[in-house]
Amino acid sequence: AQRDRVIAALLRSDLDGEEAQSAFANHGRRADDELLAASAKTAEATAESVRLRAQNRVLLSQLRQMTVMSARAEEVANALFEERAELLKWAATPEASGPSTAAASPGPAEGDAEEPAPEESRTSHDDDGSEPADRPH
């Protein structure tokens, strides 16, 4: 469309043939230069797009790895929390304080429920009929 406008302007002008040809050639060179510049910018933009997509893939991969590691860290933290709770519960039992302290420690206060030790929870009596508290540990 621009080329047609240039041709029409040249035809309307009072330039002689050589001047018109020179003006048209100059216009063609400018158009070619603009086209080359636009092509170069397009190539740069394409290269930048490719670079950014590659960087995006790397970042997404790292994000996936971090998400997996975060989930694993949460699992480990939960397991440690549960282990700590079990250790605190065990530390409160007479077995945790050893045989001499267990014998000297008073029984549970009135209203406190004594939690049975793991071996006591399996059976409440030995073959001889004695209570679990009567058995040696």
Per-residue pLDDT for the chain (137 aa), expressed as one digit of tens each?
777 777 777 666 666 667 777 877 888 899 999 999 999 999 999 999 999 999 999 999 999 999 999 999 999 999 999 999 999 999 988 887 766 544 555 555 555 555 555 554 444 444 555 555 554 54
Listed in sequence order, the DSSP H helices in the chain are: 2-12, 17-91, 99-104, 118-122
- Does this model's pTM top 0.75? My answer is no
In a domain, 108, yes or no: no
Task: Specify whether the CB–CB gap between 102 and 108 falls below 8 A.
Answer: no
**Residues spanned by the domain of 45:** 1-94
Domain count, the chain: 1
In a domain, 122, yes or no: no
In a domain, 128, yes or no: no
In a domain, 19, yes or no: yes
In a domain, 44, yes or no: yes
In a domain, 125, yes or no: no
In a domain, 86, yes or no: yes
In a domain, 100, yes or no: no
